[in-house]
Amino acid sequence: MSTNTKLPKNIYKPANTKFYWLRVKINGQTHRESLRTTSLRVAEKRAKSRVGELRGKEEAGELEWKFSAGWVKFYEKLDQEGSGWSAETRKRYQTSLRQILRVLDHIFTDLDRDISSVSASEVSVSIVSEFVARRQDERVAVGTINRDLTAFGQLMKAIKNDGWIKENPVRVFERQGMKEVLPDIVIPTDEAIAKLSARAPGTLAHFPGFLCATGGRVTEMARLQWRDIAGLEKPVEGNVLATLRFTKGGESSNHRAHTGGD
Q: What share of the chain is helix, strand, coil (3-state, %, to 5)?
A: 55, 10, 35
Query: Where is pLDDT greater, at 178 or 203?
Result: 203
**Per the structure, how many domains does the chain have?**
3
pTM value is 0.52
Q: Are residues 148 and 197 in the same domain?
A: no
- Lowest mean pLDDT: which of 43-52, 156-165, 191-200? 191-200
Give the residue from 195, 185, 241, 182 showing the smallest Cα distance to 216.
241
Q: Are residues 181 and 206 in the same domain?
A: no
Cα of first residue to Cα of last residue in the chain, in angstroms, is 68
Domain boundary among 61, 83, 101: 61
Dihedral sign, Cα of residue 96, residue 101, residue 104, residue 109: negative
- Lowest mean pLDDT: which of 51-55, 125-129, 234-238? 234-238
Whether residue 261 has pLDDT greater than 50: no
Asked whether residue 262 is assigned to any structural domain, the reply reads: no
- One-letter amino acid identity for 167? E
Confidence of residue 257 (pLDDT cuts 50, 70, 90): low
Asked whether residue 111 is assigned to any structural domain, the reply reads: yes
Mean pLDDT, the chain, whole residue set: 83
- C-beta of residue 173 within 8 angstroms of C-beta of residue 129: yes
- C-beta of residue 210 within 8 angstroms of C-beta of residue 218: no
Asked whether residue 90 is assigned to any structural domain, the reply reads: yes
Whether residue 251 has pLDDT greater than 80: no
Range of the domain at 207: 190-256
Asked whether residue 261 is assigned to any structural domain, the reply reads: no
**Mean pLDDT of the region 31-36:** 77
Asked whether residue 147 is assigned to any structural domain, the reply reads: yes
pLDDT tens column, 78-113: 988 877 888 899 999 999 999 999 999 999 998 888
